[in-house]
Amino acid sequence: MVPTLTWTPEGVRFIDQTKLPLEESYVLATTYDQVADAITTMVVRGAPAIGVSAAYGVVLGALKTKAATAQEFAPEFERICARLAATRPTAVNLFWAIDRMKRLFAKLAGSGVPLVEIQQKLLAEANTIYDQDIASCRAMGAFGADLMPDEGGVLTHCNAGALASCGYGMALGVIRSAVERGKHLHVFVDETRPFLQGSRLTAWELMADSIPTTVICDNMAASLMRKGRIQGVVVGADRIAANGDTANKIGTYNVAILAREHGIPFYVAAPWSTIDLATATGDAIPIEERPAREVTHYAGKQVTPDGVGISNPAFDVTPARYITAIITERGVMRAPYTESLKEMELVS
Ligand code: MRU
């Protein structure tokens, strides 16, 4: 499997997700500012992947400082974290990872640990976040595989795969794990306009694993469901509120409503770092508005008249009542989510 991002002595190496599937090229970010740009421009994307990237961005900022002591570095550290946090607003994993790095820095700086040692400890922390991300994908996969049908069609939207994480994936981890257990799944992949994470990235990953895959346009799911070709839906998440409302790629909400109408189970697979118990409901989740050009242009060609109004929210919120179960590395939760999420918080 091609690694989404790798720490190297020179910096963070990203597979360039804006170029896939036609070109497998890499971008090396040697400064925290370049990591922030890679997140904003979606060279790297997907909630867990941007969290881990930001953690390595913090490491790069710390390694490149000219400050001599932790006290001297502290205001610069705050600016580095603020720059990385300002890249994308919706996926809570970004803020979760930065907060984790901040807590470690505060603890070490407060106990008088020398800056060179702090730099190494920050790197070790980012590496731990990376390793934990892969482990949680594996665990999610194992829990979620039980929920997949023994055979049939499974629909996914966007890319909640290895490319959105450090490896194996969330929704695709569930599918991979089910296939590894011998289940005969055929994956239907929404193309996911406007950025095409489904047709470009999810299809590319599944093809590499030889999992039977069909790409459909976003407006085709209802018809396939009505024809009985889809037995389950599994998607990822960018932020899950305390009541289970789930922000994910724009169009997820449509799919959830369609699944309910057709009596098809709708599953969300996400690591615990995506759960935001401090946000009461989906109404409070900030939704990123992306540049109009992603809608006005398709494959570099303008497809809308000059001057037309454009709306490009990158995410929508699926109300908890449409979600059959939420799969995390800690286990599977069902409604009422306000209670099941709180109970699962105590499990580690
Ligand atoms: O804008 P993106 O590509 O970063 O959005 C990613 C998603 O919304 C994915 O569906 C994904 O589930 C989040 S990764 C768990």
Q: Is pLDDT of 220 > 80?
A: yes
Whether 127 shows a pLDDT value over 80: the answer reads yes
- Helix, strand, coil percentages (3-state) for the chain, rounded to 5, are 45, 20, 35
How many angstroms is it from 164 CA to the middle of ligand 1? 7
- Our answer on whether the CB atom of 140 is closer than 6 Å to any ligand 1 atom is no
The pair phi, psi for residue 231, each rounded to 5°, is -105, -15
pLDDT per residue as tens digits for the range 293-325: 999 999 899 999 999 999 999 999 999 999 999
Residue of the nearest CA to atom 2 in ligand 1? 46
pLDDT single digits (tens) 19-29 = 999 999 999 99
**In whole angstroms, how far apart are CA 3 and each of 142, 211, 266, 270?**
21, 19, 28, 19
Q: Residue 277: pLDDT above 80?
A: yes
> With bands split at pLDDT 50, 70 and 90, how would you rate the model's confidence at 13?
very high
What does the pLDDT read at residue 347?
A: 85
**Which distant-in-sequence residues (6+ apart) come within 8 Å of 66 by Cβ?**
none
Q: What does the mean pLDDT of the chain come to?
A: 97
Phi, psi of 183 (to 5 degrees): -75, 145
Distance 80 CA to ligand 1 centre (A): 24
The answer, yes or no, to whether any atom of ligand 1 lies below 6 A from the CB of 17, is no
> How far is 120 from 32, CA to CA, in rounded Å?
16
Residue 31 confidence (pLDDT) above 90: yes
Name which of 338, 295, 323, 282 is nearest 92 in CA terms: 282
Average pLDDT of 207-235? 98
Q: What is the mean pLDDT of residues 103-124?
A: 97
Tell me the CA–centroid distance for residue 306 and ligand 1, in Å.
29
Q: ∠ at Cα 195 (190, 197), nearest 5°?
A: 45
Q: Find the farthest-apart pair of alpha carbons in the chain and give their distance in angstroms, rounded.
A: 66
Percent of the chain past pLDDT 70, that is, above it, reads 99
> Rounded to two decimals, what is the model's pTM?
0.97
Q: Indicate which residue of 238, 245, 276, 316 is catalytic.
A: 238
Active site residue 16: no
pLDDT tens-digit readout, 74-110: 999 999 999 999 999 999 999 999 999 999 999 999 9
Q: Is the CB of 178 under 6 A from ligand 1?
A: no
Distances (CA, A) of 242 to 41, 120, 270, 278: 30, 35, 14, 7
What domains can be seen in the chain, in order of their start residue?
5-138 (1.20.120.420), 142-344 (3.40.50.10470)
Give the model confidence (pLDDT) of 139-167 as tens digits: 999 999 999 999 999 999 999 999 999 99
Q: What is the pLDDT of residue 231?
A: 98
Q: Is the pLDDT of residue 1 over 80?
A: no
Q: For residue 207, is pLDDT > 80? A: yes
Nearest alpha carbon, ligand 1 atom 8: 249
Instruction: Determine the residue of 14, 159, 327 to mutate for testing ligand 1's pocket, defined as the one with the most ligand atoms within 8 A of the Cβ atom.
Output: 159
Give the per-residue pLDDT at 2: 74
Q: What is the pLDDT of residue 141?
A: 98
**Other beta carbons less than 10 A from residue 218's beta carbon:** 17
pLDDT number for residue 185? 98
| Model pLDDT for residues 251-268, shown as the tens digit of each residue | 999 999 999 999 999 999
> Quick one: which atom of ligand 1 is closest to the CA of 235?
12
Q: What is the pLDDT of residue 299?
A: 85
